[in-house]
Amino acid sequence: MKSRKHMSTKALPPIDTLAEGGNLQRTEALTRQADKFLAHRRPLGPLEYALSQSGFTVPKLAEQGNGCRIHDTLGNEFIDWHQGFGATLLGHRNSEVENAIREQLGKGVNLSASSSPEVEVAVALCDMIPSAEMVSFGKNGSDATHAAIRLARAITGREMVFTTEYHGFHNWSLASDPTCEGIPQRQRNLIRTIPYNDIEALEEMFREFPDEVAGLIVDPIRREIPNSDWFEGLRSLADRYGALLIFDEVVTGFRFSPGGVQELYGIIPDLTCVAKALANGMPLSALLGKRRYMEKLPQIYFGMTYRGEALSYASALASLNIYKREPVHEHVANIGTALRERFDILAAKYDIPTTLKGHPARMEVAFGCAGRISDLGIKSLFVQELVRNGIYSDGLFLPSYPMNEEVIELTATALDKTMGVVRAAKDCNTLEGFLVYPTSEDCYREA
């Protein structure tokens, strides 16, 4: 049992300052109400999630966004490297997207029948994504992955699922997370997490359950660029063992290329899930795939009241047109590469063992730390200092289309200050006096 002796109670200056146009009283009132009335306990945005384990909260509520910047209710401006969990690939308030939504608003929001934009988005997706022959829509990424797994089970008559990491909040997926409560044990027995980028180990798993796996669902590129044989290996193992290969391109879709990772690597999965950038922040997801499988969709009752909601289709259509017409994925990859270069130089300057892992369009900070402070503790401090310096990130760096050289410069300046503080904390071997909010025991390693 770790001791709590490291709990820091030292008062540092509050993290928030009131900028012009900000409203302190309103913010404090809203924050109190959020704490009291929002059951999901994430009223303060994604940073709270990253830092909740260290007791750190970011008392900011977003007021508005524009391009790659957001403002909080205190009037502070941040460069938004989070971009709505990666959804707003074109940035906040892209004018073409916004006009399309406005135009549709004048025609009605939920018209009780499929609308023309719904059909047009389906056609555009089949044109853009290599594995798409038919499409169905949901609202969240979780809807699409949930339907994909139920469809794979219906088609194969099997129940076991092989998975990579997070694929949504439904039982079948969170069954792989032992810390999530309320999941029936039977569901937990039906899921196995595969080792990423290790075909031999995956084959070993298939050998253990040769006739039981309904689907192999993978988030194709998360923290690591896989070996060249990985995707072909997935395809051939799925075929050999009679499982459906499902690409969860909820994050990678449109961001890595208009046709997603499958287009980049020339691999055709049986089913694919996209969401997030599909409608640039509006709630829309899609399950798509080979006709012979998708035709079975009515048998799994993938239905919902809000499928007809037309603003999201209008937004998707405008977004897809931009992805087709403009070099969006190349630009965000260039931005990611430029940031990573600056990041590496600063990490060397301060001698901090850290990198931005993953594809340049989807990077995540990773610390390899020695000493008393744990990786979580360092990450908490890192995020705190970035926020103080006007950078909104929970450790994920998801570049967006409006980002430019100036944004890289501002981010590098903030990173410079941030890494300076991290260096100082490491030298002192404590977070005491560095983290504003009390640190939890998880911020330190076992003695």
Which residue has its beta carbon closest to ligand PMP? 141
Is 286 a binding residue for ligand PMP by CB under 6 A? The answer is no
Range in contact with ligand PMP (rule: CB under 6 A) among 99-107, 134-142, 287-295, 415-423 = 134-142
Closer by beta carbon to ligand PMP, 277 or else 431: 277
Tell the residue number behind the tokens 């709590």, with chain if given: 4
Kindly state the tokens that stand for 131: 């594995």
Q: Which of 47, 250, 338, 373 binds ligand PMP (CB under 6 A)?
A: 250
DSSP 307: G
Is 275 a binding residue for ligand PMP by CB under 6 A? The answer is yes
Is 83 a binding residue for ligand PMP by CB under 6 A? The answer is no
Q: Any residues with CB less than 8 A from the CB of 305 and at least 6 apart, and which?
A: none
Q: Which of 31, 53, 140, 187 binds ligand PMP (CB under 6 A)?
A: 140
Q: Are 274 and 135 within 8 A, CB to CB?
A: no
Q: Which of 27, 57, 76, 142 binds ligand PMP (CB under 6 A)?
A: 142
Q: Which of 214, 221, 251, 316 binds ligand PMP (CB under 6 A)?
A: 251
Helix 405-428 crosses helix 328-349 at what angle (to 10 degrees)?
Answer: 30
Where would I find the beta strands (DSSP E) of 290-362?
354-357
Closer by beta carbon to ligand PMP, 145 or else 315: 145
SS3 308: helix
Paired sense of beta strands 77-80 and 363-367, if any: unpaired
Helix, strand, coil percent content, the chain, rounded in steps of 5: 45, 15, 40
Cα separation of 312 and 275, whole Å? 11
Find, among 98, 17, 89, 96, the residue nearest to 59 by Cα. 17
Is 145 a binding residue for ligand PMP by CB under 6 A? The answer is yes
CA distances from 41 to 38, 49, 60, 171, 221 (A): 6, 9, 14, 20, 29
Range in contact with ligand PMP (rule: CB under 6 A) among 100-108, 247-255, 317-325, 418-426 = 247-255
Q: Are 381 and 419 within 8 A, CB to CB?
A: no
Is 170 a binding residue for ligand PMP by CB under 6 A? The answer is no
Is 306 a binding residue for ligand PMP by CB under 6 A? The answer is no
Range in contact with ligand PMP (rule: CB under 6 A) among 31-39, 49-57, 93-101, 160-168 = 160-168
Is 82 a binding residue for ligand PMP by CB under 6 A? The answer is no
Range in contact with ligand PMP (rule: CB under 6 A) among 39-47, 140-148, 207-215, 304-312 = 140-148
Beta carbon of residue 304, minimum distance to ligand PMP (angstroms, whole number): 13
Which residues, in sequence order, are bridge partners of residue 67? Answer: 92
Site for ligand PMP in 179-198 (CB under 6 A): none
Residues lying near ligand PMP in the complex (CB under 6 A) are found at: 85, 140-142, 145, 166-168, 219, 248, 250-251, 275
